[in-house]
Structure 1
Amino acid sequence: MSASTPPLGRPLVDPTEHFPALAALRAAVLRKDGDAVIAAFASLPDEDDRALACWAVAETPDAETFLQDLASRRPDDPLPNVLLANHLILRGWEIRSDARAEHVTREQFDAFHAHLRRAEILLIDVCAAHPRDALAWYLRLISARGLELGQSEARRRHDRLAEHHPHHFNAQSQLLQQLCPKWGGTWEEAHGYARDRAAAAPEGAPNGALVAVAQMERYLDIAQDRTKKAAEEYLREPATRAELLAASARSVLHPAARADAYQMVAAHNAFAAAHSLAGRPADAAPHFRALGDRATEFPWSYVSADHAGAFARHRKTALAQG
């Protein structure tokens, strides 16, 4: 690390710690200031930025009553119902947990599906009245997966969104999950989709990180079904490394990349994790330098239950060697 580089601190996992605008948005939800919430979204023209802002609202404790009241006061505005649906989806997934299906109880599944069905009712109405609403279609990809509606329905929802927003990184990330074997897909489909969407996106867009996400999903699958060593060997394959380097050069490390875009944090973390687990600190270093203290739970949660600690350890190694 050069002498001019600011000293690194603790990893900041909550995106409201990365971006002041998101902190202000969460504060508006906490004080139940509906006008400020609406204005905050109006100031975000980028749909991927709006998606992260949507989650910042959803993760605010005890937001449901406020969002219900906001929706009732603004019946012609789709945003409050979308935000409420996102909150319900989040609570549902928290009940389900991130365990494999065989470790989730029937009671958990029932409560999980009940939350998703409530969200679906809201989102179906929004999509009917506002078919170009990217947030609603994006969230319907998440609810489709949770309700086990299958590959065809997930692709249909993705395609409806892509008609108006062809490079929506968050939506593509959700469909990529659906295409993994754990949700009924195949590795051929998952890797093929990641490569195609990364290649189709504009230079400097975060979509190249889909390649890294697909590799991390494959890593986790191998680690769970075989051994961690076998998973690391997969990431070390020369073709795997070459694919990552090409994807990052065209996306997050390209001169056209927007350093202030919210999704660049998620994208750099995905690349950094994949290179780190493959034992390539020099390849991970540019991503850690771009990130500073800005960590994300995914994919570091695939590395350790202490995802912030995993980020910090690998960052230290990468910046010392790269």
Structure 2
Amino acid sequence: MARLLPLLVIALGIFFWYRSRRNAAVRPGAAASSAPGLSGEAAALGFLPQDRQDTRRLTRDPQIDGAQEAAERGAWEPAARALAAVGPDWERRTALVIALARVAAEDDAWLSAWETACPGDPGAAAVRARSSVFLAWELRGGSSAKETTAEQFEGFHRVLLRAREDIAKAVELDAEDPSPHVSDLWAGLGLGYPHAYVDELWTEITTRAPFHFEAHYAALQYWCAKWHGSAELARDFADRAASAAPAGTLLPALRLIAHFEHLDRPLNSKHYGIPEVTAMTDAVLADLPAVRPDHPRLAEVRHLLAFFLVQQKRHAEALEQFRAVDGYVGALPWDYFGDPAKLYCDYRERAVQGAR
């Protein structure tokens, strides 16, 4: 028995050491969580589990969501009132057009009723133009070109050509609104507009709204190597736009997007810690205080910042961004991958643990 006593003491010591280590993993007062994508620490900070992350939206916006939900129920009047209310606030008008057009691409009966009740309504025309572009891309599907059938391509190009007619009508009905021209940029990705035409189109847009974020995002996609440009053209476009923009436009984020878009392995952290990328990240952080709180793309930029900051091991700063956007993950970069809610929660957990 005397021989067993030292072994018993050692065993008890190991047991209590293990239990203390396990308990240390949970913050004082926080219960361990069994919800997917949610540790005890994350739960204590008020974060939501993976199954409560909305993968369709990038934020909650009462004005936009109310009009969209009414359209989903078949009512067009709230959409018309919402567009009339934003007036020449082109950033929010374009966001409303996009939200409503997504609904119309699935079922346009409510939009047809609006067009019948109010012939020549410029808001309805802008929504119709963008919905035609969305419909074309849905017909094509999200697969690579080699995995897309000839029938899909035929429908894609046929509807895009029809969309150009809808875009022209929307421009005619409201010459000041840049949103139909932004829709034309997205049509140009599929139809392969030549660079010279896009340059002319860009002049039309920037004459109306020189610092329009959605327009810049669409143009950046056109100039990316995966579409009709190159890494150099995309980065040059992003740098020129960010350099010329006043504070509060979110345009410094274009540099981050151009960097992300041209990485072969975008989840590899080695691409994010170099001084140039750290400086890009800092420039976006510096722009945030001047951004209007209801900017429709602010949440997406916060998502992007959170991702870059985690990659740079700046976990406390990343947590600030995660706190501002939790619950809505239909945004870059998460929606570029197969399970955006899981990836979001994985990166959020890295920030939680790294900031401890």
User: By the TM > 0.5 criterion, same fold?
Assistant: yes
- Cα RMSD of the aligned pairs, angstroms, is 2.5
Aligned to 1:308: 341
* Contact 1:30 1:60 (C-alpha < 8 Å) held by counterparts: yes
- From 64, 83, 98, the counterpart of 1:55: 98
In the alignment, does 2:66 pair up with 1:24? yes
Aligned to 1:211: 255
Give 2:95's aligned amino acid: L
Identity rate, percent: 25
Q: Which has the higher contact order (CA 8 A, sep 6+)?
A: 2
Q: Which aligned pairs between 1:250-261 and structure 2 lie closer than 5 A?
A: 251-252=287-288, 255-261=289-295
2-structure distance, mates of 1:125, 1:321 = 53
Aligned to 1:132: 176
CA deviation digits over 1:280-301, x for unaligned, max 9?
5345333223223232243213
Give 2:272's aligned amino acid: L
- From 41, 52, 56, the counterpart of 2:83: 41
CA deviation digits over 1:129-160, x for unaligned, max 9?
43211111111110111111122222221210
In the alignment, does 2:325 pair up with 1:281? no
Aligned to 2:15: none
TM-score scaled by length of structure 2 = 0.79
Answer with 1 or 2: which has the greater Rg. 2
2-structure distance, mates of 1:311, 1:305 = 11
* Contact 1:281 1:321 (C-alpha < 8 Å) held by counterparts: yes
2-structure distance, mates of 1:279, 1:94 = 38
Q: Note the residue ranges of structure 1 that are not aligned, 5 or more in a row.
A: none
2-structure distance, mates of 1:13, 1:319 = 21
Aligned to 1:238: 275
CA deviation digits over 1:52-93, x for unaligned, max 9?
222221222643232123223322221112212222211211
Question: Partner of 1:301: helix, strand, or coil?
Answer: helix
Query: May I ask how many residue pairs the two structures share in their alignment?
Result: 311
Aligned to 2:196: 152
* Contact 2:250 2:284 (C-alpha < 8 Å) held by counterparts: no
Question: Partner of 2:74: helix, strand, or coil?
Answer: coil
Aligned to 2:57: 15
- Change in Cα spacing, 1:136 to 1:321, as seen in structure 2 (3 Å) is same
- From 131, 147, 150, the counterpart of 1:87: 131
- Change in Cα spacing, 1:232 to 1:266, as seen in structure 2 (3 Å) is same
* Contact 1:198 1:247 (C-alpha < 8 Å) held by counterparts: no
